[in-house]
Chains A and B, each alone.
Chain A
C-alpha cells in the first residue's frame, strides 16, 4: 500500500516537473543555431588570419574550411619576425600591456582604500562623496577630453612634465575614469562585511591598517578580482583615449594599431586579422580564467 502511494506521488511530481520545464527539444535546436551564428565571426577572423594573404578577396574564408591544409601560420610568423619595431604588432602588444597593467593595478589599489574609507571610515560627507562617485560613473569620456589635453599642456608649461603624447598620460586618464566604477564596486561589496568583525579585531588591539589588510582585504578579494578584470578589459580595448592622448607617439596600443591599419592601408587585411586575433587572445585568457568574477562584475556594474 505504501509502495503504491509512493509511486503515484512520484508520477505526480514528475508530471509537475515536466510542466515546469516544457519541451527541451526546440530550445536545444534554436540555441544550437544561435550558438553557431554567434561563433561564426570569431571563427572567420581566425580562419582569415591563418590563410595566405593572396587568398583574401579571391574566395570567401569558408572555402578554406573545405581545405584545411591550405591554412598556415605564415602571417603570424611574418609579423612576429619584425620584432619590437615601433608601429609593429609585437610593439603594440607591449604598449597595450604597458598601459593596461599599471592602469588596472592603480585603480584596484585606490579603489580598495577608498572603499574601505567610505564604508568603515568615520568622517562627514561620506554619503555625498559616494553619490558623487555614482554620478561620475556615467560621465562620457568625451566630455573630459579637451580640457584634460589642455591641462596636460599646462603641466608641461608649469613643471616641464607634459603627459600628453606619453603612456603615463593615457594611464592617468584611464585611472581617473576607472575609479568611479571601482570605488562604487568596492564600497558596495565592503558594506556587506559585518562591522562586528572589525570591532572584534579593533578590541584586540589591531590598528586600522592591520584591520584593512588582515580582514577587509581578504574578504573583498572576489570584488577585487571582478574590478581588476573589468578595468583590464576596459583599458585593453580602449581606442578613443589612446587615439587622443598618444597623438604623435610612435608606440601605439593594439586598438590604435588596428585602426591605423584599417584607415591608412585598407588592403592589409592579413595584418588586421592577425593583429585582431592577437588583441583578442589576452582578454579571452583573462575572461576564461576568471569567468565567475567577470559575470559577478557584470551584475554589479550594470550601471556603467
Chain B
C-alpha cells in the first residue's frame, strides 16, 4: 500500500511540476496548460455536467424505488433485478447501451421507439427523397413537370374537363416500385367531365433518352397523392394513383387545371437521432464560439448518464432502503393518525428523517462520478469522442496513449485528487465521530 498508493500519490504531485519525461522542473506550467487546453476544459465541463445531474437523479430514483418497494410483496425480486447491473462491468453495460442508443432504428431500441411515434404523427411518403444523400425533389422531375417551391411537383400543361395530363418522373428507385407492386404504365382514356392521366417512371433501358413517351415496360407510380390545382394555386380536389399509375378527377368544374404531386409523397421519415454522435443541446446564441462550446451539453453525455443511472440506481435503493427500514415507524404512524396525507408524510417526515442516508448516497455518487471513466471510453464514438471526455479519461489519453507522458496528465490527476479531497475529509469526520 505504501509503495502503490501513498508514495505514488505524492510522486504524482512532484511529476505534475516537471516536463513530460520528468527530466526538467517546470513549476506550474503544466497547470497553466491544463486550464488553457480546449480538450481539458471540455473535460472539466463534462465533469460539471455529471456532478450536477447524476448524483441528484440517482438519489431521487433510489428514494422512489426504496419507498415503493416497501409496498409490494415481490420486493426481494425487484431489488435483485435493479441491483444486478452493479455487478456487470461498466464496459459491458456501456456497450449494451451503446446499441440501445444506436442511430439506426434497426439496431437502437430508443430510436426505434422514436421512429414509431414519429411515423404516427408524420408518416413518411411512399417515395422518400433521401436528403441526407443530397437528393432533392427537383432530381425527380422528368417530362411535363417542374418542382414547386413547396417541394411538390406540378404539371407544366393544364387541362379542362375531358382532358388528360401525363407526368413522367425520373430517378425513382426500382426497389420502391417493386415494393409497391407497380405495373406497366397505361395510357389513360379521356373521359367527359373528368381529368384523367398517368404518372409514370419515364425511364426505359432500351431508350434511356426518351422521357416524353410512355414506352412498353415503363412502370406506373402507384399510390401517389395528387391534387387538382387551379391557376391561382388553390386545391380543388385530391386523389391517388392506381397500381398502373393512373388517376381520375371526376366532376371537374369549368376552367383549366394543373395536377400536382404533393410534397408529402417525398418526405422521408425519421432517420434516427444521433444520441452518441456529435449532437448537443446548445444554449441561445449571442456567445462567443468557445463559450458556446463549453456551455453546451452533448447528447452523448445524457445517454451516458442514463446508462449510469441504470447501473447505480440499485446501489442508492439498497442504502436508502436500509435507512427506511430503520426509521421509527411510530413517528410515521403518528403523522398519519394526525391526518397527514401520504404525500405530506413522505415530504415532511420520511425525507427529513432519511436526510443523513440521502447525504451519504449523494456524496458517494459525487466521488464516483468525478472518477467516471469506463463508460465514456466505451460509449463515445465518432464525433462524440472529442465532446465527452471527463478528467479521468483525459488523464488516460494524455498520459498513456502513445507512450507514457507524465507532466500534464499528472497535473490533471492532482486536480482530480483535490476535487475528491472534500469527500475524503467528510468520511474522516464521520468515522471519527462514530
Task: Report if A and B associate in a common complex.
Answer: yes
CA distance A258 to B337 in the complex (A): 56
Looking at chain B, what size class is its interface with the partner chain? 35 or more
CB pair B104–A57 under 8 Å, yes or no, is yes
Digitize B59-95: 1 where CB-to-A-CB distance is under 8 Å, 0 elsewhere. 0000001001111100000101111111111111101
CA distance A175 to B395 in the complex (A): 22
CB of B54 within 8 Å of the partner chain: no
A142 in contact with B8 given A24-B72, A35-B81, A284-B84 (CB within 8 Å): no
CB pair B99–A136 under 8 Å, yes or no, is no
CB pair A244–B400 under 8 Å, yes or no, is yes
CB pair B333–A44 under 8 Å, yes or no, is no
Cβ < 8 Å to B, chain A residues 197-218: none
CB of A172 within 8 Å of the partner chain: yes
Digitize A286-304: 1 where CB-to-B-CB distance is under 8 Å, 0 elsewhere. 1110010011001100111
CB pair A302–B364 under 8 Å, yes or no, is yes
**Which residues of chain A are within 8 angstroms of B409 by Cβ–Cβ distance?**
146
CA distance A42 to B97 in the complex (A): 10
Stretch at the interface among B34-42, B154-162, B412-420: B412-420
**Which residues of chain B are within 8 angstroms of A177 by Cβ–Cβ distance?**
4-5
CB pair B416–A48 under 8 Å, yes or no, is no
Chain B nearest CB, measured from A121 CB (Å): 17
Chain A nearest CB, measured from B101 CB (Å): 11
CB pair B96–A243 under 8 Å, yes or no, is no
CB pair A239–B97 under 8 Å, yes or no, is no
**Which residues of chain A are within 8 angstroms of B234 by Cβ–Cβ distance?**
none
CB pair B99–A146 under 8 Å, yes or no, is no
A283 in contact with B87 given A57-B106, A60-B109 (CB within 8 Å): yes
**Which residues of chain B are within 8 angstroms of A58 by Cβ–Cβ distance?**
106
CB pair A147–B12 under 8 Å, yes or no, is yes
CB pair B89–A254 under 8 Å, yes or no, is yes
A138 in contact with B109 given A31-B72, A176-B3, A259-B378 (CB within 8 Å): no
Chain A nearest CB, measured from B424 CB (Å): 5
CB of A279 within 8 Å of the partner chain: yes
**Which residues of chain A are within 8 angstroms of B105 by Cβ–Cβ distance?**
60
Chain B nearest CB, measured from A176 CB (Å): 3
CA distance A266 to B379 in the complex (A): 12
CA distance A147 to B381 in the complex (A): 30
Stretch at the interface among B198-206, B290-298, B314-322: B314-322
Chain B nearest CB, measured from A38 CB (Å): 5
CB pair A280–B91 under 8 Å, yes or no, is no
**Which residues of chain B are within 8 angstroms of A144 by Cβ–Cβ distance?**
4-5, 8-9, 12
Cβ < 8 Å to B, chain A residues 227-264: 233, 236-240, 243-244, 247, 254-255, 258-259, 262
CA distance A238 to B83 in the complex (A): 18
CB pair B395–A239 under 8 Å, yes or no, is no
Stretch at the interface among A3-11, A15-23, A73-81: A15-23
Cβ < 8 Å to B, chain A residues 138-177: 138-151, 172-173, 175-177
A40 in contact with B428 given A140-B371, A141-B371, A176-B5 (CB within 8 Å): no
B92's closest neighbor in chain A, by CB? A276
CB pair B87–A142 under 8 Å, yes or no, is no
Cβ < 8 Å to B, chain A residues 93-151: 131, 134-151
Chain B nearest CB, measured from A36 CB (Å): 10
Q: Which of B71, B371, B430 contacts A21 (CB 8 A)?
A: B71
CB of A179 within 8 Å of the partner chain: yes
Q: Which of B99, B377, B431 contacts A44 (CB 8 A)?
A: B99
CB of B281 within 8 Å of the partner chain: no
**Which residues of chain A are within 8 angstroms of B215 by Cβ–Cβ distance?**
none
CA distance A58 to B361 in the complex (A): 42
**Which residues of chain A are within 8 angstroms of B333 by Cβ–Cβ distance?**
16, 20
**Which residues of chain B are within 8 angstroms of A140 by Cβ–Cβ distance?**
370-371, 392, 413, 416-417, 420
B11's closest neighbor in chain A, by CB? A147
Cβ < 8 Å to B, chain A residues 259-279: 259, 262, 266, 269, 272-273, 276, 279
CB pair A147–B81 under 8 Å, yes or no, is no
CB pair B318–A295 under 8 Å, yes or no, is yes
CA distance A177 to B417 in the complex (A): 15
The dominant DSSP class at the A interface is helix
A262 in contact with B95 given A140-B392, A240-B373 (CB within 8 Å): yes
CB of A27 within 8 Å of the partner chain: yes
Q: Which of A34, A146, A294 contacts B410 (CB 8 A)?
A: A146
**Which residues of chain A are within 8 angstroms of B351 by Cβ–Cβ distance?**
none
CB pair B336–A20 under 8 Å, yes or no, is yes
**Total A-B residue pairs with C-beta atoms closer than 8 Å?**
254
A299 in contact with B322 given A42-B96, A279-B92 (CB within 8 Å): yes
CB pair B424–A138 under 8 Å, yes or no, is yes
CB pair A142–B392 under 8 Å, yes or no, is yes
Chain A nearest CB, measured from B355 CB (Å): 15
A280 in contact with B92 given A139-B420, A173-B4 (CB within 8 Å): yes
Chain B nearest CB, measured from A295 CB (Å): 6
Digitize A40-58: 1 where CB-to-B-CB distance is under 8 Å, 0 elsewhere. 1110110010000000111
Q: Which of A57, A136, A237, A239 contacts B88 (CB 8 A)?
A: A237
CA distance A51 to B373 in the complex (A): 30
A179 in contact with B99 given A20-B332, A280-B89 (CB within 8 Å): no
Cβ < 8 Å to A, chain B residues 164-202: none
Chain B nearest CB, measured from A70 CB (Å): 15
**Which residues of chain B are within 8 angstroms of A147 by Cβ–Cβ distance?**
7-9, 11-12, 15
CB pair B9–A143 under 8 Å, yes or no, is yes
CA distance A286 to B431 in the complex (A): 30
B336's closest neighbor in chain A, by CB? A19
CB pair B104–A134 under 8 Å, yes or no, is no
**Which residues of chain B are within 8 angstroms of A16 by Cβ–Cβ distance?**
333
Can you list 24 contacts pairing A with B, beta carbon distance less than 8 Å? A20-B333, A21-B70, A30-B68, A38-B81, A41-B310, A60-B112, A140-B420, A143-B8, A143-B417, A145-B395, A147-B7, A147-B15, A180-B5, A237-B91, A240-B374, A258-B89, A258-B92, A273-B95, A283-B87, A284-B84, A287-B84, A288-B80, A291-B80, A303-B360
The 4 closest A-B pairs by CB, nearest first: A176-B4, A237-B89, A147-B8, A144-B8
7 A-B pairs besides A35-B81, A146-B8, A179-B1 with CB distance below 8 A are A20-B329, A135-B428, A137-B424, A143-B12, A233-B86, A280-B88, A298-B83
Could you list which residues of chain A lie within 8 angstroms of chain B, going by C-beta atoms?
16, 19-24, 27-28, 30-31, 34-35, 38-42, 44-45, 48, 56-62, 131, 134-151, 172-173, 175-177, 179-180, 233, 236-240, 243-244, 247, 254-255, 258-259, 262, 266, 269, 272-273, 276, 279-280, 283-284, 286-288, 291, 294-295, 298-299, 302-304
